[in-house]
Amino acid sequence: MLLTTSGAAIAIVPTADATPSVTGKASDRAADPSEAEVRAADFEWAVKHSKGGIPWALTQAKNTGKKTLVPDETTATSITYANPDGTLTSELTSGPARIQQDGRWVDVDARLTTAADGRVKAKAHPNGLELSGGGGSPAKSLKAADEATARDLVTLGEGKERVILQWKGGLPKPDLDGTRATYRNALPGADVIVEATRTGFEQYVKLDQRPTDAYSYTMPLKAKGLKAAARTDGSVLFTDAKTGAERAVMPAPMMWDASVDKVSGKHENRHPVNMKVVDKGNGDVDLVVTPDRAWLADPATQYPVTVDPSTANLTNVFDTYVQQGETGDLSTDVELDFGNPGTTNSDGTPRTARSFITWNTAAFKDAPVTNAGVSLWNFHSGNDDCKAYEWTIWDTTASSTASRWTKQPTWQQQYHSSTQTKGNPACTAAPDGWISADVTTLVQSWSSALDGKGHMGLRAATDDVKAWKRVNSASATSTRRS
């Protein structure tokens, strides 16, 4: 079995019953069929009447000597093959890898393209992501923007459940680059940028120069079929209007400057953004975004500055990470981090991180697992000496949008470890790439538990900054990072 996110995967080989064979001497009188004969007859019937199912695929694999796809077992996050030796191999991803279009499965493709009607759409997105193609005249000032009519900027979701983020004022035609749409100078001295992710979107404003006055803007948000509610940590939670089930989250906003820490590879000069959530009723809210004026004016702040107020995912899969010193939800990020990045909080504590992935294990529930491995796309590591550093894999309780460093899932048992390491810019022999580990024992425990879900925790084996790692999450759109 192979478990992966968009950057991570698990491969699992559960055993399957091969075509039974029955041998023996015929008796002189008719006898009740044996259990083996019944199984053989049932299997033969299934092969004839279930093309696309497991019995059919096992027979095809045995007859051709080649592994055969089991179409009936394909889902958005799993794909299964029958092997000539009578086993099955299931490949699971922690995020959606494929969607159904026109009755067939196609790979998720979050790259943006302009449709005939002028709207911008992701090519093959699980939630039908659409963006504005531009229109109207951009506001000449913040005051003018505040008084302008709102227009749809991003629409996420289809049918009864949709999140629509709006922009006040006109929007220029966007420049498209892969999964990114840039609306240049949508505000004076600022670009509005929308980045498609595998399960949703990220929207942020890039300030190219230091503002001379107070900076604030309003973004209306409509939630159809959903209820939007502000949480105490500054995030916005979207729940199903009928059932109350959690469907999406918009984390508390942050902003960061252009500087990048050499060890962590991240924008560490970060600052919280004040966002007031004004309830307009019927699931509609206004997000009033006000970056801290003193931080923007600080000479130590390097421009351009990115203000990141809006991220939304609509998904049934889940992963997240927690980091010491971070008080907000990190489940919508496009990466998972683990280890010590070498930076500290204001109180001197290290900003150590740990990650959690929930896997849908229904495809191999109660099956004997002969082999399972997990793979993660590692795009940055702290090993500037280019040596390999150990990371560990645990069974944990379930993580959620409420998980924080001070409120982690229970680390129940360490099952596996690996020293595979990639992604340090100084290590040309080990560029960005997959890092893997055998997780057969852990996956077998999930299969035997009959729960249908497996909860995995990832952490560095030591606090050495050289063991720091960043890998793609389920939301990442590709195995390449800028």
* CA proximity to 285, closest of 187, 182, 164, 369: 164
Task: Give DSSP secondary structure letters for 390-417.
Answer: -EEEEEE----TT-BTTBPPPEEEEEEE
| 317 burial level (CB within 10 Å; 0-12, 13-18, 19+) | buried
Determine what percent of the chain is predicted with pLDDT higher than 90.
50
Domain that holds residue 224: 104-316
Enumerate residues 6+ apart whose C-beta is below 8 A from 181. 112, 120, 131, 174, 175, 193, 194, 195
CA dist 155 and 130 (Å) reads: 5
Local structure of 295: helix, strand or coil? helix
Determine, yes or no, domain membership for 148. yes
Q: What is the mean pLDDT of residues 154-175?
A: 89
User: Best-predicted range by mean pLDDT among 39-43, 85-89, 275-279, 415-419?
Assistant: 415-419
CB 219 within 8 Å of CB 287: yes
Determine, yes or no, domain membership for 7. no
Q: Which tens digit of pLDDT belongs to each residue from 330-358? A: 988 899 999 999 999 989 999 999 999 99
Residue 14 has pLDDT above 60, yes or no: no
Q: Poorest-confidence range of 118-122, 161-165, 186-190, 339-343?
A: 161-165
Determine, yes or no, domain membership for 284. yes
* CA proximity to 382, closest of 319, 466, 303, 452: 466
Number of domains in the chain: 1
Read off the amino acid at residue 334. Answer: V
Determine, yes or no, domain membership for 77. no
Determine, yes or no, domain membership for 445. no
Determine, yes or no, domain membership for 34. no
Determine, yes or no, domain membership for 153. yes
Residue 11: the pLDDT is 54
Local structure of 216: helix, strand or coil? coil
Determine, yes or no, domain membership for 235. yes
CA dist 238 and 233 (Å) reads: 14
The secondary structure of residue 15, as a DSSP letter, is: B
CA dist 246 and 227 (Å) reads: 10
